[in-house]
Structure 1
Amino acid sequence: MKKIYIILVTIVTLGMTSSCSDYLSIDKYVNDMLTLDTVFLRKNYTEEWLWNTYSYLNNAGAEIANKGTNCFSFASDEAIFGDWWPRCRIYQNCEYTANDGYEDRWGHLYQGIRRASIFIDRVEGCPELGNSEIEDMKAQARFLRAYFYWLLIKQYGPVPIMPEEGQDVSLSYDALAVARNTYDECVDFICREMTQAARVLPVTRNASRWGQATRGAALAAKAKVLLYAASPLYNGNTDLKSLTDDQGRELIAQTTSEEKWAKAAAAAKDVIDLGMYELLTVKADETTVLPPPNIPSSTIPYPNGSGGIDPFKSYQQCFNGEITASKNPEFIFTRQSYTGSDLNDIAKHAAPRQMNGWNTIAATLKQEKAYLMCDGNPITSPSAEYPYRPKEFSLSNSDYPYIGANVSLRYAYREPRLYASLAYNGCVWENGSTTETQKIGLQYFYYKNDPSGKRLSEPDFYLRTGIGVKKYYHPDDSWNTGGQLKYKVEPTIRYADVLLWYAEALNELVSGQTYQIPSYNDQTMIEVKRETGSIESGRGMRYGFSRVRFRAGLPDLPDAVYADYESFKKELKRERQVEFFLESSRYFDLRRWKDADIEEGAPVMGLNVDKNNSDEQRPLFYEERLAEMPKIFLPKMYLWPIPKGELKKNKKLTQNPGWEK
C-alpha cells in the first residue's frame, strides 16, 4: 500500500502552506515524496522539521494569548475585552457560528499532527543522528502529536484519530473520510502517547533547550487530560447523549465512573513524585507585607506555612518576566512566542492611556469578589480585625498595605493575589523603565472624564467594569519614551495546576474505595483514596491544596472543610478562579464542571463608570451595575462548533449538538 502524509514541504524553510481543507487532498502531494525522503537524510533538516512542529503550539495553537489569537479568557466570566475589536463581544453573546472561522484551530492542529506523524515515521532513517538523539526527538514528536489532539478535544470534544500509518492514495475521497472517535478513545490514545513519551524524555532540559518536551510535561499533560475526562462534562453526561458519530454511536460515556477520578489523581501524583517541581516563592525582605499574625501558619516556614516568603512577589513574579522560564521551578510546560508579544500585548491592552496602553481589559466584579480577605475570610463575612468597608476611603498612602490615598477600602486587607492581578481604581502603575520620569509611579483612577476613565474623546478605550488588570505586567514595563518590556512566556502548565488537580480528583472519590493505579513506568502502584492527608505525608487533599494557599499568604482550610465533599469542592472552585485568573483556565473549568450555564449565563457586573471624581459622585462609582457587554449562555456553547467547511469535506464528521450542520 502506498502511503501519503498530507504536507507541503519546502526544503529551505520547511514551511507549511496547506490549509485544513488539504487533509483529504491527495494528488498535489504525491510529487513531494522524493523531497520528503531527502529531508530526513540530513540532521539539520530533520531538526528543523521538529522545531517547526513545535511552532504549531504558537499562534492558533496558543492557550493564553492576545485578543486576535485566543479569546477564551475574555469569553468567560472573569474578564472582558472592551475596545473596538468585536470578537470578545461575539463570544460573550454567542454570535459566532460554524461558518465564521472564529477560534478555528481544527485545521491548524491537524497540520501539526501530520507533521509529528511524519517525523515519528521517518526520523529513524536519518543516518546523521545517533540512537539517543532519535529516541529523544521521536518522543518529543509523540508528545506534540498527543498535545495537538488534546487541544482539539478540549475545544471540540471527541475528534477523529487519524491513521498513524498514513492512507492509501488510490482510495476515493469518501473512502478517506474518518469518523469521530469517542471521547474516551481520544483520551486513551493521548494518554498512551504521553506515557510512551514520558518513559523516554529527560526530566529536565538546559536553558538553551527550554520549552522542549520533558518527562514532567508529558506526565502533567496526561494528568490534565484524565482530569477533564473524569469531569462531569464527559463522565456520564446524559445531556450529550445526542452527540454521536455518523453511525449513531454515542461519543460521550453515559454512565459515571469514579475510577476516572482515581486515574486522574494517580497521574497528578506521578508528576508530584518526580520531585522536580515546586511553587515559585520569593524570600521575604524588609518590603514584604507579612500575612496577619493571627494566622497560625503565617510564621511557619514554607511549604508548611507562609513564613519566610513574600506572598505578593511570589505570585506576581511567576508571570511578569522577572524570573526566566528556565529558572522558574513552577513551570512544567511553557510556550515561547516568536515575537514575545502575546502576554505583553495583554499587558498593553490593560495599561492606562497615559502609559500608551489601550486601557480596555477589565476584570469582572465577580472576579474581584472572589479574592478573600488577607486572613482567609470571604468579603461576605470578614473578621473584626480585617474588615471589608466598601463605602469608606483611605486618607493617605500609608494607611493600609498595598493601597494608596483616596482608594476605596473595598481593596484594603485583601489577599496578595488581588494586588498582583487587578488594577483597582487608584492603583499605582510603576512604569519603571521610561525616560519620562514624570510618568513613573503614578496613581491612576477610572472615574468618568479622568484620562483613564470613560471619555467622549476616546469612547472605546475605558474599562467597562471599572476594574483593571495587572497580571502579566512587570513594574519596569513601559510603553512611554525609552520604555522597555520584560520578555514573558505562556505559563501553559504550572505546578499549582498539578497540586490542585490532585486535590480535586481525590475529593471526588466519595465511595470510600481505595484504588491501586499503575505509575507511568509500570514499576510501582499508586494508592489513591479520598483522604485529607498532610504536607508531611506527601499525600492527600491537604498536601495539594494547602501549598497553593500558603504561597498566597492564606491559612489552610479547617479539617471540617476537607471532610465535607461539597464544602471542599466549593473552596476548590474558588481557588482555581483566583489562582488561574486570565490563564484561559476558567472558560474550560466552567465547562468541564458543567457550571457554565449558571456562571456564564449571569450578566456581567461591574462598577458605575459613569460617575466622576467629584465629592458627590465618587462614592457612587462603586455602585454595582450591569457592564456594557451583552452576555448569554446557550447549552450548545459547552462545545465549540466544528467548522462547516470540514463537515463538507469529511462526510463522516458529525456536528456538535445545537450547531448548524
Structure 2
Amino acid sequence: MLDLDKVFAQALEAERYLANVYSYTPPLGDGNHGFESSFISIADEADFGASFMYANHMHNIGNWGPSTTVFNFWTYLYQGIRSASVFIARIDECADMSATLRTQRKAEARALRAYYYSLLLRQYGPVVILPETPFEINTPPAELQLPRTPFDACVDYLVAEFDQAMADLPDRITDQGQLGRIDQLAVQAMKARMLLYAASPLFNGNTDYAAFTNPDNTPLINTVYDREKWKAAADAAKVIIDRMPAGLYRKTDESGSIDPLRSYRDVFLDRWNQEIIWGRQPKENLLNWHWWQHCAPRQAGGESVYGATQQQVDAFFMANGERPVIGYNSDGSPIINPRAGYSEQGFAEENTAYWNEGVSNMYVEREPRFYATISFNGASWVNKGSDNNQSYRFEFWMGGADLVGENYSKTGYAIRKFIHPSTIWNPNWANVNVEQMQDIFFRLGEVYLNYAEALNEYDFNANQSEILRYVNLVRERAGIPGYGNQSGQVAEPASQEAMREAIRAERRVELVFEDFRIWDCRRWKIAEQTDNGPFYGINIRGGNQLSDPELYKRIAFENRVFQRRHYLWPIPQTEVERNRQCVQNPFW
C-alpha cells in the first residue's frame, strides 16, 4: 500500500489518484450505483418492474427518510470532494510531473470538486462547504462541527471555482487518447446547468423555506425572487452555444435531408460526436449490457423490465408537431388535442418504416423520437437476432412472450433509447460496437433548451424570436414542424406561460431517460402534481392478443407518493448526529 507521500512523488501514481477522483462521477441513469435503482424510475417517465423491493420502489411509495435513505449521494459525493481536495493540496509536490501538467491536473480536480458540490446542491439544497485544505485524520470532533452554507453563497463559491478551473484548462480536448478529460467547455456546461437550477422556483424566492435556517438563524435559502438569476443562466448557456457553431448532431438520408430517427438515436451511439460536450467511457461494459438486458424483449434474451409510463408515452408529439394529449380527466382518461390527429381506436393497416401493420393507432403517426425511444406492443426489436433472421415483436399481454415470470414491464412498454442496433444476445449481451458507447453528461441539445428556458423566464417579450430559434432547432433535428406562423408550422406560443409549457414539453421528450425529468419537476416545483398519485400503463392483463381493444385501455399500475418534504432529500440521520451544526432539511 502506498502512502500519500509516495503517491505524490510519482507522476504515474498521481495520475491514478486523479483517475479515482474522476470515478465519483455518477454514470447516466445510475441512481444508487446500479441500474436497479435508476433515477428515471422515480420520475414520472418510467418504472422498474422488478419484483424485488429496490430503492426506487421504496422511494415511490414514500417509504424513506433520514434513517432509511435511498439514493444517498451525500456520503458518496463528499468522498469524491475530499479526494479532489487532497489532490489539489498535494499535486505540486510531484516533481516527477511538469509544472504545466500539474497546473492542468489541479484544475481538473478543482472542476470535479465543484461539480460534485453542484450535484449535492440539486439534491439536498444548501451544503456544507469544506475548507480548502482537507481535515487531518486526527482532527478533534469539535472542529468538524460545520454549518451549512446558504444556497446563494454556495452558488457564488462554485461559480468562482468553475471560473478558476477554466483559466487553467485547454479550450477543448482533441487528443483521442485523452477524450473524457475535463476541458473549458465541459466546465462551462457544469456552471451553466447549476445556474439554471439556481434560478428555478425551488431555490429562487421559495417562501416554503422561510424558516429554513442554521442554528444561528442564518437563512439558508433566499425567499426573495431574483429575476437576474435567469439572465446569468442564459448568458452562461450562450457561451457554450457560441463555441459550438457546428450545432446539433445530424445524419442525412440519400437526398441530403435530415434523417430524424438516426440523428436522434445515434447522438448517444456515435462516440464523441459533435454534440457531446463532456462524456466518458462507462465504468464497466457490464453497465451497458445490464441496460440492454433490462430493455430487450424476453424473446431475444432480455427482461423488458424498464417500462415507460403511459404519461411519458403521451408526452411524445405527433408527426405534425402537435401534442396528442394536453391533460387528463379526474379518472385518468386523456384530454385529446383535436389538432393532433391522434386516436386510441383501431389498428394500423400497413407497415411503414416506423410501425408494423396491426399495431394500435395510439402508436401511429408519432414523431421519430418516439420510435427511437419506446418499444410498444407489436413494435419490432432493434435487430433480428444473432442469426439475422429471427424478427422479435413485443408482446406485452396475457399469454404474450414478454409477460413472463415476476420481472417484466408493468406498464406495457419498454425502452430502446441508448441501445445499439447491433446489440444481440450471444449469450452475454455482447455488442460489436460497445467500444463506441459512452456516458454523456452534457450535450448541446440540453444547452439549447436551457438557454431558451432562461431567456423566457427573464424576458419573454424581448427574447421571443431567440427562444423560438433554439427550440425549433431541436424540433428540426427531431423531424417535426417548428413553432411559427407559416403554413405547416405549429401555432407559435403567444405568452410567457404558453412558451414555458412548450419548452417544458420539449425537454420532456428530447431529454427523456437522461436523468433530467426528476430534477426538472423538483426545480419547477410541480412534482406534487407530476409524481404523486396513480401512474398508468396499458391493460396488459386485460387483453390477450395484439388486436384486442381491451389491451389498450389505460390502467393504474402503481400509486406513488410525493409530498412537500420530498423536494429536497433528507440528509442521512447519522450525518446530522455527527455534525450538530448541520441542520436537517425542512419538513423531515
> What do the CA deviations read for 1:332-358 (whole angstroms, capped 9, x no partner)?
112432212334322311211111111
Which 5+ residue runs of structure 2 have no aligned equivalent?
326-335, 486-490
In 1, Cα distance between the equivalents of 2:110 and 2:236? Answer: 18
> Are 1:403 and 2:355 an aligned pair?
yes
> Aligned match of 2:237 in 268, 271, 283?
268
> Aligned match of 2:341 in 387, 390, 397?
387
Using the TM superposition, give the Cα deviation of residue 374 of structure 1 relative to its aligned residue in structure 2, in angstroms.
0.5
Q: Secondary structure at the match of 1:531?
A: helix
> Does the CA contact (< 8 Å) of 2:129 and 2:154 recur in 1?
yes
> Does the CA contact (< 8 Å) of 1:58 and 1:336 recur in 2?
no
Task: Summarize the Cα distance change of 1:170–1:107 in structure 2 as closer, same or farther, 3 Å threshold.
Answer: closer
Aligned residue identity for 1:653:
C
> Aligned match of 1:83 in 38, 50, 53?
50
In 2, Cα distance between the equivalents of 1:561 and 1:500? Answer: 16
> What do the CA deviations read for 1:493-538 (whole angstroms, capped 9, x no partner)?
11111111110000011397xxxxxxxxxxxxxxxxx4123xxxxx
> Does the CA contact (< 8 Å) of 2:166 and 2:183 recur in 1?
yes
In 2, Cα distance between the equivalents of 1:558 and 1:139? Answer: 44
In 1, Cα distance between the equivalents of 2:567 and 2:107? Answer: 33
Task: Summarize the Cα distance change of 1:193–1:63 in structure 2 as closer, same or farther, 3 Å threshold.
Answer: farther
Using the TM superposition, give the Cα deviation of residue 461 of structure 1 relative to its aligned residue in structure 2, in angstroms.
2.4
Using the TM superposition, give the Cα deviation of residue 101 of structure 1 relative to its aligned residue in structure 2, in angstroms.
3.9
Matched ranges for 1:358-373 at <5 A: 358-373=303-318
Using the TM superposition, give the Cα deviation of residue 643 of structure 1 relative to its aligned residue in structure 2, in angstroms.
0.7
> Aligned match of 1:549 in 475, 479, 496?
475
Matched ranges for 1:18-417 at <5 A: 35-58=3-26, 66-68=34-36, 70-86=37-53, 87-167=55-135, 172-205=140-173, 206-275=175-244, 278-285=247-254, 308-319=257-268, 321=269, 323-324=270-271, 326=272, 328-380=273-325, 387-397=341-351, 400-417=352-369
TM-score w.r.t. length of structure 1: 0.82
Cross-structure match for 2:525: 594
> Does the CA contact (< 8 Å) of 2:300 and 2:392 recur in 1?
no
Using the TM superposition, give the Cα deviation of residue 184 of structure 1 relative to its aligned residue in structure 2, in angstroms.
0.9
Cross-structure match for 1:442: 392
In 1, Cα distance between the equivalents of 2:324 and 2:92? Answer: 60
Task: Summarize the Cα distance change of 1:61–1:93 in structure 2 as closer, same or farther, 3 Å threshold.
Answer: closer
Cross-structure match for 2:496: 565
Cross-structure match for 2:374: 422
Matched residues, number? 568
> Are 1:638 and 2:567 an aligned pair?
yes
Task: Summarize the Cα distance change of 1:625–1:636 in structure 2 as closer, same or farther, 3 Å threshold.
Answer: same
In 2, Cα distance between the equivalents of 1:89 and 1:643? Answer: 19
Aligned residue identity for 1:549:
R
In 1, Cα distance between the equivalents of 2:318 and 2:337? Answer: 7
Cross-structure match for 2:407: 461
> Does the CA contact (< 8 Å) of 1:60 and 1:108 recur in 2?
no
Using the TM superposition, give the Cα deviation of residue 362 of structure 1 relative to its aligned residue in structure 2, in angstroms.
0.8
Cross-structure match for 1:652: 581
In 2, Cα distance between the equivalents of 1:369 and 1:480? Answer: 34
In 1, Cα distance between the equivalents of 2:579 and 2:343? Answer: 59
Task: Summarize the Cα distance change of 1:169–1:352 in structure 2 as closer, same or farther, 3 Å threshold.
Answer: closer
Deviates more, 1:400-409 or 1:142-151: 400-409
Using the TM superposition, give the Cα deviation of residue 658 of structure 1 relative to its aligned residue in structure 2, in angstroms.
2.0
> Does the CA contact (< 8 Å) of 1:281 and 1:551 recur in 2?
yes
Task: Summarize the Cα distance change of 1:169–1:363 in structure 2 as closer, same or farther, 3 Å threshold.
Answer: closer
In 1, Cα distance between the equivalents of 2:9 and 2:428? Answer: 48
Task: Summarize the Cα distance change of 1:47–1:481 in structure 2 as closer, same or farther, 3 Å threshold.
Answer: closer
Aligned residue identity for 1:318:
V
Which 5+ residue runs of structure 1 have no aligned equivalent?
1-9, 12-34, 287-306, 513-529, 534-539
> Does the CA contact (< 8 Å) of 1:231 and 1:592 recur in 2?
yes
Using the TM superposition, give the Cα deviation of residue 37 of structure 1 relative to its aligned residue in structure 2, in angstroms.
2.5
> Does the CA contact (< 8 Å) of 1:432 and 1:477 recur in 2?
no
Task: Summarize the Cα distance change of 1:405–1:187 in structure 2 as closer, same or farther, 3 Å threshold.
Answer: same
Aligned residue identity for 2:218:
R
Cross-structure match for 1:523: none
Task: Summarize the Cα distance change of 1:495–1:580 in structure 2 as closer, same or farther, 3 Å threshold.
Answer: same
> What do the CA deviations read for 1:598-637 (whole angstroms, capped 9, x no partner)?
111241011111123358x71111111111x231211111
> Are 1:603 and 2:517 an aligned pair?
no
Q: Secondary structure at the match of 1:186?
A: helix
Deviates more, 1:375-384 or 1:249-258: 375-384
Using the TM superposition, give the Cα deviation of residue 72 of structure 1 relative to its aligned residue in structure 2, in angstroms.
1.4
> What do the CA deviations read for 1:384-441 (whole angstroms, capped 9, x no partner)?
8x732321112342xx441112101111111000000000111101335624x453x3
In 2, Cα distance between the equivalents of 1:413 and 1:39? Answer: 59
> What do the CA deviations read for 1:539-574 (whole angstroms, capped 9, x no partner)?
x21232111111101122126735510110000011
> Does the CA contact (< 8 Å) of 1:63 and 1:492 recur in 2?
no
> What do the CA deviations read for 1:143-176 (whole angstroms, capped 9, x no partner)?
1100110111111111100000334778631232
In 2, Cα distance between the equivalents of 1:269 and 1:200? Answer: 21
Using the TM superposition, give the Cα deviation of residue 63 of structure 1 relative to its aligned residue in structure 2, in angstroms.
6.3
Cross-structure match for 1:292: none
> Does the CA contact (< 8 Å) of 1:401 and 1:413 recur in 2?
no
Give identity over the alignment, percent. 34
Using the TM superposition, give the Cα deviation of residue 483 of structure 1 relative to its aligned residue in structure 2, in angstroms.
5.5
Using the TM superposition, give the Cα deviation of residue 241 of structure 1 relative to its aligned residue in structure 2, in angstroms.
1.8
Matched ranges for 1:401-550 at <5 A: 401-432=353-384, 434-435=386-387, 437-439=388-390, 441-453=391-403, 455=404, 458=405, 460-481=406-427, 484-485=430-431, 486-487=433-434, 488-510=437-459, 530-533=462-465, 540-550=466-476
> Does the CA contact (< 8 Å) of 1:66 and 1:343 recur in 2?
no
> What do the CA deviations read for 1:247-299 (whole angstroms, capped 9, x no partner)?
2221111100000000000000111122366311111137xxxxxxxxxxxxx
Task: Summarize the Cα distance change of 1:413–1:164 in structure 2 as closer, same or farther, 3 Å threshold.
Answer: same
Task: Summarize the Cα distance change of 1:543–1:132 in structure 2 as closer, same or farther, 3 Å threshold.
Answer: farther
Aligned residue identity for 1:240:
Y
> Does the CA contact (< 8 Å) of 1:78 and 1:367 recur in 2?
yes
Using the TM superposition, give the Cα deviation of residue 67 of structure 1 relative to its aligned residue in structure 2, in angstroms.
2.8
> Does the CA contact (< 8 Å) of 2:199 and 2:230 recur in 1?
yes
> Does the CA contact (< 8 Å) of 2:397 and 2:545 recur in 1?
no
> Does the CA contact (< 8 Å) of 1:449 and 1:612 recur in 2?
no
Task: Summarize the Cα distance change of 1:355–1:611 in structure 2 as closer, same or farther, 3 Å threshold.
Answer: same
> Does the CA contact (< 8 Å) of 2:307 and 2:413 recur in 1?
yes
